[in-house]
């Protein structure tokens, strides 16, 4: 990963401890969501809407802005809830 934002140096483990923890956790969640969207599989096979939400949420989580982090977590959470509620048809 790379960063273009000064707050993103936390991914390099530099700066205040809280910024480092926050940046590492949100980056991990963002990359997990991006991987799920690209691979078309999160907890189970994704639908088109879930895939779009994972890709959008993942991109928002990677950029270090609190509002984007909140939106990304909500989108990722919506996918988790959607997949837990959906019956497995495979």
Burial of 17 (0-12, 13-18, 19+ CB in 10 A): exposed
Confidence of residue 6 (pLDDT cuts 50, 70, 90): low
- The reported pLDDT for the residue numbered 49 is 95
Report the distance separating Cα 77 and Cα 43, nearest Å. Answer: 12
CB-based contacts of 34, cutoff 8 Å, min separation 6 = 54, 55, 58, 59, 62
Confidence of residue 1 (pLDDT cuts 50, 70, 90): low
Which tens digits make up the pLDDT trace of 36-85? 999 999 999 999 999 999 999 999 988 878 899 999 999 999 999 999 99
């Amino acid at each position: 990963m790379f960063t273009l934002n000064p707050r993103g140096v936390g991914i390099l483990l530099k700066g205040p401890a809280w910024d480092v923890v926050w940046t590492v956790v949100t980056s991990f969640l963002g990359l997990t969501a991006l991987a799920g969207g690209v691979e078309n599989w999160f907890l189970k096979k994704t639908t088109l809407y879930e895939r779009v939400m994972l890709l959008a949420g993942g991109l928002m989580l990677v950029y270090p802005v609190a509002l984007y982090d909140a939106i990304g977590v909500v989108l990722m959470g919506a996918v988790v809830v959607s997949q837990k509620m959906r019956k497995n048809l495979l």
